[in-house]
Amino acid sequence: MLEEIPVSNNGVPEPEIAQASKPVSRMRLVLSRLRSTPRFWVGVIGLGAVILWAAFGLIPNQWNYTDLDVYSMGSSPNSVHWFGTSDIGEDIYAQTIVGLRKSLVIGLLVGPIAAIIAGIVGAVAGYLGGWWDRTIIWFIDLLLVLPSLFLFILLSPIFKSLSWVALIFLLAGFGWMIMARVIRAQTMSLRERDFIKAARFMGVDTWTIIRRHVLPNVSSLLIIDATLGVGGAILSETTLSFFGFGIQAPDVSLGTLLASGQGAAVTRPWLFIFPAAILVFTVLSASLVGDALRDAVDPTSGVNRD
């Protein structure tokens, strides 16, 4: 005998009503918004293609970025040198890939590191309050008013003698302040919630509350900040290297390639166009992903542009 399914007054089976009224988790809602956002997929595909090309692009190429072809100096793109060569016979294709690798590593590390610093500092200031909050905010405001570019220039002689890894921590050290203020404001709201008060009344220590309850509730903001920070870090590194204050020879980055090719942008445009196009494409892809994430987490952050 078939089981009779209860039906509501409007003819809809009650199990379907219960399933339809079941609340959707925040993660599923964000993923649903991302799936219906074309610019997210454009950014993910573009950024993924750039990373794959940087990782495996040298395999089909017979030239290393340090090789010199004395028989083909300053040549235009051809079947042997796909992006052409420099004045001394360096393969621009190989140098572009190696420079892209360096810029990607810096960007993919600086963004998350700056987001982690912002999350910790902002959560501590917002949760502890009092003189902790006043001291941290004073320090953040001080860093915000300091001209970071001039500080980079002043510190560049010190970092020239160090590895390019030092540039990662320098860029991350000046890229967390704005998001830290946002996290502080969110934390000040969270600490008045019932679950935070309950944990405090149960004797849970401050650092455990911040780690288990505060940071997970602001993680979406930190993910967005880390994603958007990738493109910003790549641009910052390129700018510093372009002016001679970032990556130093014999290392190669997109900034050093643009600096060496700017003088020949008209007479030998392949020296400048290829690194510049890769830089624009990479930063645009990372920005599209971060922009889509921001709108998916907070639909009120901007109008729907799709």
Alpha helices, DSSP H only, in the chain? Answer: 14-20, 26-35, 38-56, 92-128, 130-145, 148-160, 165-173, 177-190, 194-201, 206-209, 215-217, 219-242, 254-261, 270-297
Q: Could you identify the residue written with the tokens 């990782």?
A: 55
pLDDT above 70 for 93: yes
Domains of the chain, residue spans: 50-75+85-301
pLDDT above 80 for 109: yes
Rounded to whole angstroms, how far apart are CA atoms 113 and 120? 11
pLDDT of residue 16: 47
- Mean pLDDT for the chain overall: 82
Rounded to whole angstroms, how far apart are CA atoms 117 and 78? 47
pLDDT of residue 162: 66
β-strand partners of 90: 68
C-alpha dihedral (258, 290, 40, 48), degrees to nearest 10: 50
pLDDT above 50 for 293: yes
So what CATH class is 50-75+85-301? mainly alpha
pLDDT of residue 302: 53
Q: How many CB atoms lie within 10 A of CB 264?
A: 15
Rounded to whole angstroms, how far apart are CA atoms 265 and 261? 6
Count how many Cα atoms sit within 13 Å of the Cα of residue 13 in the half-sphere of its side chain.
Answer: 6
Rounded to whole angstroms, how far apart are CA atoms 61 and 52? 15
pLDDT of residue 244: 75
More confident residue, 46 or 239: 46
Contact residues for 197 (Cβ-Cβ < 8 A; gap 6+): none
pLDDT above 60 for 4: no
pLDDT above 70 for 9: no
Report which DSSP code applies to 163. -
pLDDT of residue 17: 46
Residue 268's Cα: distance from chain center in Å?
32
Report which DSSP code applies to 75. P
Q: Give the tens place of pLDDT for each residue, 237-259.
A: 888 888 777 777 778 888 888 88
More confident residue, 295 or 3: 295
Rg (CA), the chain: 25
More confident residue, 178 or 72: 178
Using a 10 angstrom Cβ sphere, with 0-12 exposed, 13-18 middle and 19 or more buried, the burial of residue 80 is middle
pLDDT of residue 299: 64
pLDDT above 70 for 129: yes
